[in-house]
Homo-oligomer: A and B are copies of this chain.
Amino acid sequence: MHMIATGIGSAYTVAMQQPVVLTGANFIGASSSTRGSATIQGIDPASGAPLAPAFFEATADETARACTLAAEAFGIYSALLPATRSSFLRSIADRISELGDTLLERANAETALPVARLQGERARTIAQLRMFAGLVDEGSWVDARIDRAMPDREPIPRPDIRRMLVPLGPVAVFGASNFPLAFSVAGGDTVSALAAGCPVVVKAHPAHPGTSELVARAILDAAGSTPGIPDGVFSMVHGASVAVGQALVTHPAIKAVGFTGSLVAGRALFDAAAERAEPIPVYAEMGSSNPVFILPEALATRGGEIAKGLAASITLGAGQFCTNPGVTIVDGSADSNRFLEALGNLLEATSAGTMVAAHIAAAYSQGLDEFASIRGVTMASVAADDAPNRATAARAALLVTDSATYLASPPLARELYGPATLAVRTGSREQLMDLARGLHGHLTATVHGTESELVEYADLVAILERKAGRVVINGFPTGVEVAPAMHHGGPYPATSDARATSVGTAAILRFARPVCLQGFPSALLPEELRDENPRGIWRTVDGVLSKDEL
């Protein structure tokens, strides 16, 4: 058992009065459904022990019913007043809080992520729900635009046209393995879709089915207790096989997809969606290796400090972050020798991390071997093999190569998901720039440099702005703020759609499309587009931004 300290998360949690019994069911709207024969079981990564109960993989019929119900709910849900939608989101936040230690305990058992980390992730999940509730209440996100009629315009009169964003339709969300709360059942994809006015069908990640059920029931409780929320606004299916995900993405009722995971799985969903009779957008966040460039003066003046920060960023959460710094670029100087030695020592001294699933740890281990087997790459340091369960252990590692090898070996450009970084040594400024130009798309790119050095390397920064969704100066890529200015996305293969973010308020824009209303009488206009501006939102009126009534 994983013991939970008392009093944790007291800001948000209310003690549960009764123990929660997990059912293992799929949730087709408010109804439980256990029609299938295949089952999935949660596994404690720290011991390898299976966790009760068994969860029923959804049948094709169950998945289809969830999608159809979502389509039926869409008309009602999308037409609700924003205040109803925002109180639904706040109610989900409250229900998740009320799960208290039960949720942390189960998530810890299923993922081996430390309780303190899970508390932080729960706080983030709840804050995210409340942030989107606030966004919906404020209302300006719909980008309302009004061009008033000009009946006397020559040669022809201009009609009255008004435009705003409306929800796309039911959204399929795939829970992520590495964030059982913040990027899973009630994570960023679900909450931004619900905020936009889209029903959601979640495919729970098989690595944390119990955590998923707890959160699904919290959402369904919130739906049931918020007047006006139709059944079908939320469903959740279980599935370890590819078939469940494919059935979801190819169902005609589904109009968009949110996904966080591997390139292979994300691309398969993208392809399936693109091949539909009616193609739909897929927002797949597929990870990257997040290059970190450390410039010579920074190395010389604060190499030790950077090594410490970088080691912490590499090993955070056993390296299970899509923004993990997997590539570190330094020059060939004596300073960089010292830096790499310090970094190697720090990584070697860490205890082996426990990854959330054995197949993920195996892929990491295999990836390390593959990288190290490439001629010109050396395994400089690797942490001790001291994990409780070797099947899920991830040992921190430092690999070293040179830029010629890196550019000549495409396999080195792929994400090595786990607590490792590949240091690439460049022999000249020209090599450094070539390496930057040769990068494919990443979620983040980082530069460490002194003030004058950063100005001197402005061309490097300009290249990185074209290669990454977020460029970090003198910081570390892990730690993604949930805020309006965040962009968590990036050019392919970091994501399938460089225009989209899965973190921050702009995530809502993924699930909306504009509609233009021409010549509408006031009675038929939504509040956002009425002359009186009853919602008091920002609108572009005849090209000028204003909160005025007309």
Contact = CB atoms under 8 A, between A and B. Distances in A.
Interface string A105-127: 00000000000000010000000
A5 interface: no
Nearest to A131: B543
B519 A474 contact: yes
Given A147-B485, A161-B481, A512-B499, A473 B518 contact: yes
Interface stretch (A21-29, A218-226, A450-458): A450-458
Contacts of A469: 513-516
A281 B497 contact: yes
Interface in A116-165: 120, 140, 145-147, 155-156, 158-159, 161-163
A204 to B, nearest CB: 27
B521 A451 contact: yes
Contacts of A278: 440-441, 491-493
A279 interface: yes
A515 B120 CA distance: 26
A520 B279 contact: no
A300 interface: no
A270 interface: yes
A389 B543 CA distance: 45
Contact of A458 (B455, B492, B518, B524): B524
A538 B543 contact: no
B281 A472 contact: no
Interface in A259-281: 270-271, 274-275, 278-279, 281
B161 A486 contact: yes
A462 interface: yes
A489 B512 CA distance: 13
A519 B279 contact: no
A545 B485 CA distance: 12
Nearest to A492: B278
Nearest to A278: B492
A461 interface: yes
A119 to B, nearest CB: 10
Contacts of A159: 472, 475, 479, 481
B496 A279 contact: yes
Given A471-B517, A496-B279, A145 B479 contact: no
Contact of A147 (B120, B481, B493, B513): B481
Interface string A414-443: 000000000000000000000000001100
Nearest to A274: B274
A505 B538 CA distance: 17
A461 B161 contact: no
A281 B481 CA distance: 27
Interface in A517-550: 517-521, 523-524, 538, 540, 542-543, 545
A169 B491 CA distance: 11
B518 A471 contact: yes
Interface in A35-89: 75, 79
